[in-house]
Structure 1
């Protein structure tokens, strides 16, 4: 995967940062159907495996902001190691609460 990404990045215009879409296939749906909510284990693995590459990540997920709030700390831990990232979920209280609710529901379903 890393070699393929490097080849892809070489085709990107000079001075522009490559953009990669990150999505998890929804089980039992047509090929390319994205999950409703971020798959944290999948996203964490993706950010860890690609930590040394320079590119932007576009989450391809249906609940957008809710999953983004969960994704940012994973990406920050791997990609912005030299800079502190202070994310105050209180600024996004309703979105964060809904994301927490969805995350709890998903955990319950897995059990």
Structure 2
């Protein structure tokens, strides 16, 4: 298809099946067996119950796979480090050829089960997140149920942040953010 290395496929490490360490080892073994044309496109995301950021960073140490930080999952399952530290650590797993690091921004649905994504973006929370992470450049993916409505609000807020107003190359195409 002619895409550069910045085109990524985002996955979770998987299930635990009663043996978390064994599951991580199986992931690493299977990742190493992938053709490089596939493995260079894979990124892993922390989840809210089984494989947190620390686990994903361990997998990265083994095979070099970039880590996507999911803010909701991190809020629910973390080692107590501040969010800014988590963003920095995940961003550090990305090489130049991988493109900008990706952060999934999402919030907990107030009345929903633990881990359920919010219906809509909370502008004050999004603003705070951007302010906390001003020293790090990354792409944001929103995991919000009302999709376009929240995307429009996020763009309105992000327009005030110089990181999101410069052109960026993703999948070989230069786009305005």
Alpha-carbon offset, residue 80 of structure 1 = 4.2
Structure number with higher strand proportion: 2
Query: Residue 77 of structure 1 aligns to a residue in which SS?
Result: coil
Q: Distance in 2 between matches of 1:82 and 1:59?
A: 17
Alignment partner of 1:55 is 2:138: yes
Q: Larger Cα Rg: Structure 1 or Structure 2?
A: 2
Equivalenced residues, count: 83
* TM-score in terms of structure 2 length: 0.43
Change (3 A) 1:33 1:81: closer
Alpha-carbon offset, residue 45 of structure 1 = 0.6
**Unaligned stretches of 5+ residues in structure 1:** 84-111
Structure number with higher helix proportion: 1
Q: Which has the higher contact order (CA 8 A, sep 6+)?
A: 1
C-alpha deviations, 1:49-81, integer Å up to 9, x for none?
A: 112211001111011111111111211212348
Change (3 A) 1:35 1:81: closer
Alignment partner of 1:19 is 2:124: no
* TM-score in terms of structure 1 length: 0.66
Is 1:47–1:79's contact at 8 Å kept on the other side of the alignment?
no
**Unaligned stretches of 5+ residues in structure 2:** 1-82, 167-177
Q: CA RMSD in A?
A: 1.9
Q: Distance in 2 between matches of 1:28 and 1:81?
A: 31
